Structures are given as C-alpha cells and as structure tokens.
A and B are shown apart, each in its own frame.
Chain A
Amino acid sequence: MSNYAYDNDGGFNNTPTTSQTTPTKPRRNYDEQTLIPVTIKMLHSSLSSPSSTSSSTAEFHLQDQRPLHMIKFVGAVRNSEVRSTNLFLDVEDGTGLMNVKVWVNDGDDCSAIVDLRKKATDRDGKYVRIIGQLKEFDGVRTVVANDVREVEGGGNEVTYHFLEVAHSHERHLKAVSGGLGVGMGYGIGNMASASHVPPMQQQQGVGMGQGLGGGSALNDAVLQYIMSAGLGSDSGVNINDIIGNVSSKGFSTNDIRNAINHLSNEGHIYSTIDENHFQYAC
C-alpha cells in the first residue's frame, strides 16, 4: 500500500505546512484593481486609511471616494537622480510636485527606463507618463512607479491626460448616482471607475421592481416590454417587436440589440423557439 509518511503530500493539495507561512496580502478582487488617471494634487489630497490587512501599508482613496490602486499621471521632470538600483524623479504637473521612485534592474528594464537613466539632459525638462502606486513613508508621499515613459505625443498627451482626469471623475459621479443614460457601465473603455457602485445604489431603475437590468433605463424598457407582451406565451416575444416598441422611447436599434444580449447573458431573459424570440426568466 502507499504509505508515504511524508509531512505533507508533496504540495499537491495545498495543505498548509507547519513551517512558517509568509503572510501574503490577500489579492484584491479584480474589480478593485483599477488604474485611475490623476493629477498630483489629487494624490496629495487623497485620504489614507489604515489597511485592513496589514498594519504598515495605508490604503488611499480620492476625495470623490474612489479607492486608489494603480494611478497614472503626466508631468515634467524637474530633478532626477540616478542610483545603482533605482532612479528618483521629481515630477511636476502644474497642480503639485511628486517624488517618484523607479526600481531598476540592469538588463531587465524596458528601453524607456534605460534611456531615462542615461543622461540628465535626456530627463530633466521632459514630460513623462508615470504608472504606479501611491505610498507614504514617514508622512511623505511617494509614487513607486511600475512604468515611466517619455510622452511621445507631446503637448497633446498633456491635454488629453487632464481631460481624461475630469472625464473619469465625471463617469464615477454618474455611476454612483444611479446608472443614468443608455447602456452606461458596460460600454467600451470602461475604466472600472463605475465598478465601485455599492450594490444598494444600483436599484433605482425606472418603474417596477428592484435591480432589474442593473438600473439602466434601456434594459428596464426592454424587460418591461418582454414581460408584458410575452405574458403567458411559450414562444415569448419576437425581437423585431421589441425593437419596434423600445425604439419609440428614443433608443437606437443597435443599443436595443446590445441590451437584449446583455440581459440574456445575465440570465434575465432566454431565447425560445429560435434566437429571435425571447421570454422573461422569472
């Protein structure tokens, strides 16, 4: 018989060993792993709260309540200092000054970082885009950068970044106030700023019921029609009837089709005799 008499089973079953287990930071759920475009002012004025998992790291959130995970900003290098294992930059963007620390590994870095380490004249006075995380040591805030890149698009990228900061903030405000508008939240380029909506606030949909279709007016209109027109019918409602009815409320055919696909994926409706007929799943 197999009686291996090992202390553990060779690691195959993930049983905890009695030897010291290194405490790992619990991985955040993917929805929380955001990348938010910010200004340096926003970084300095963000509020810190002690992390629930570790006593030494703080977690930050912006004035508009969005928690910070990774951040992105654009600014000009004012000073820089090269050390053997890292590169320090002082970056300013007109709203403030931020210290940035970049870890470097010879031979392993992307060419952008290699170039930046070369000459001060290649760095100072140049606009860069930084992606990283905000940290605080001894009361001083620093960004530990995962990526530093010279801005290739020139001044346009500076303009774009500030517009993106305002836009991302606006999207967050709209999402928090209850899913207004057509198809908000699952569109292209959703920067996850809308994913911080606490579940309770989403149930402000139009008309009947709670939490129908995630609170979007379009989804509710489609669902309402399917429910009423398909009542008692095994074969449900024809997609053309849905489009005909809901488009009179001002939605485009394309948006209606997308809404139907979304509701079907979420399980609120199902297709019946063919892919053009839908019924409400109670």
Chain B
Amino acid sequence: MAEPQQPDGAYPRVNATMINEGLFNNMIVSIIGRAVNFDGVNLLQLESGDGGRVNINLSDAEFHYVPGQIIEVIGHLDGKNIQFFISRQLGDNMDLGIYNDMIAKVQRNPKYKDLFDPFN
C-alpha cells in the first residue's frame, strides 16, 4: 500500500475538525481527547478539544476504558476512523482547549514550520 513518507516518530496532531476536513488521511496521526464512549468491544470515541468526536477502531487491541479519562491515541487515519496502535495516558486535568489552540494555531502556523513540521 502506498503511504506518504512519514519519518519515524513524526505524526501530525489532529482534532475532529481536521479529520472531517480530510487532512492527513492515510497517515499515522495522534489524537488527544477525552474518552466518552466505548461499546465494550471495538469502537472507542474520544472528544477532542474542538468539541468534536473521533472514532477509534480498536480491532481487538487490549484497552481499559475509563470514562472521562484523557488519553492520546496513535493510530492510522483511514477516512473518518482511526485504527488504534497505542495509547498513552495524559492525566485527568489536561486543558484540551489550550492543546487544541496549540495544534491548530501554533503547530500548523506556516511561520513555525521549521520548528514543528517534519514533513517539509
């Protein structure tokens, strides 16, 4: 399968809005959000800092669901769903609004390209 060149350890940080806009499709991405829904089997939903929901497909991966917990999921973005690879815990009191501003306005700001953008 032809995937865009992605340097090791480099993954775009996304939110629901960016996913819906079709950005970074077919790449490994990082989504940070609050766990809000889990069907007990495979489908996990996170709410990202912009208020939108993101679907994560666990594909039988082991996952301990704690509602309201803030986690980071790294996975493969396939259209509107993320295929789960790993998750990391980020504590209970992370300010998702500020994180959202940071990824939307700072990390993606072209004038800071040299600092954050590994793809160019």
Residues of chain A having any CB pair with chain B under 8 Å: 39-42, 45, 63-64, 75-76, 78, 90-98, 125-127, 153-156, 158-159, 162-163, 165-166, 169
Give Cα A63 to B117, complex, Å: 13
* CB-CB under 8 A for A169 and B112, given A41-B118, A154-B91, A155-B70: yes
Which residues from B are CB-within-8-Å of A162? 102, 106-107, 116
24 residue pairs from A and B, CB less than 8 Å apart: A41-B116, A41-B117, A75-B9, A76-B88, A92-B9, A92-B10, A93-B9, A94-B9, A94-B10, A95-B117, A96-B10, A98-B9, A125-B86, A126-B88, A154-B92, A155-B91, A156-B93, A156-B94, A159-B95, A162-B107, A163-B106, A166-B115, A169-B112, A169-B115
Partner of A41, one of B70, B98, B102, B115: B115
Q: Decide: A163 and B102 in contact? CB cutoff 8 A.
A: yes
- Contact (Cβ within 8 A) A78 B9: yes
- Complex-state Cα separation, A96 to B92, whole angstroms: 26
Residue B12 interfacial (CB < 8 Å): yes
Q: Smallest distance from the beta carbon of A27 to chain B beta carbons, Å?
A: 30
Contacts A41-B10, A162-B107 given: A96-B95 contact, CB under 8 Å?
A: no
Convert B1-26 into 0s and 1s, putting 1 for each residue whose CB lies closer than 8 angstroms to a CB of A.
00000011111110000000000000
Tell me whether B50 is interfacial, beta carbon within 8 Å: no
Q: How far is the CB of B7 from chain A (nearest CB, A)?
A: 6
Tell me, in angstroms, the Cα distance from A94 to B72 when the chains sit together: 12
How many residues of B sit at the interface, in one of the four size bands? 20 to 34
Could you give, for residues 96-120 of chain B, a 1 whenever the CB lies within 8 Å of some chain A CB and a 0 otherwise? 0011001000110000101111100
Chain A residues with CB under 8 Å of B9's CB are: 40, 75, 78, 90-98
**A10 → chain B closest CB, angstroms:** 54
Q: Is the CB of A154 within 8 A of B98?
A: no
Determine if B44 is an interface residue (Cβ-Cβ < 8 Å): no
Chain A residue with Cβ nearest B100: A159
| Contacts known (A94-B13, A97-B9); A155 close to B114, Cβ less than 8 A | no
A93 proximity list for chain B (CB < 8 A): 9
Measured between alpha carbons, how far is A125 from B30 in the docked complex, in Å?
13
